[in-house]
Amino acid sequence: MEKITSEWLKERLGDDRGKKAALAEALGLTNDKISKMISGIRKPQAEEIPTIHAFFGETASDVDPELAAVWRQLEPSERTFLLNAAKAQIAAKDPLPE
């Protein structure tokens, strides 16, 4: 899997503000946080990396290819909805702390 750096993001986003906003929405982040990633001030969090790769249509080696193909077909708002649903599903499985 290719490491996500500020240069990697700059190369893929270019000067397209709409694409930057769509990435922010897909990740559930503010545009400011995306700007910080582009400038190198903020590094992508581990849980954000699969979403970033999928947003750009790239499949990480540890991502199911079928899941990645479906993910690429979704609009950013649909991705956000699906990601939140998955997080809720995982949280429901976690045992409550004693």
Confidence of residue 34 (pLDDT cuts 50, 70, 90): very high
Q: What is the pLDDT of residues 39-70, one digit of tens each?
A: 999 999 888 888 898 898 876 666 666 777 78
Tokens at residue 26, please?
A: 């897909």
Q: What whole-number distance in Å separates Cα of residue 25 and Cα of residue 82?
A: 12
**Dist. CA 90–CA 93, nearest whole Å:** 5
Token digits of residue 24: 């922010």
DSSP 29: -
Nearest Cα to Cα of residue 84 among 20, 40, 26, 36: 26
Phi–psi pair at 30, nearest 5 degrees: -85, 160
DSSP three-state, residue 95: coil
pLDDT for residue 98 is more than 80: no
14 dihedral zone (left: phi>0; alpha: psi -120 to 50; beta)? left
Compute the average pLDDT of residues 90-96: 76
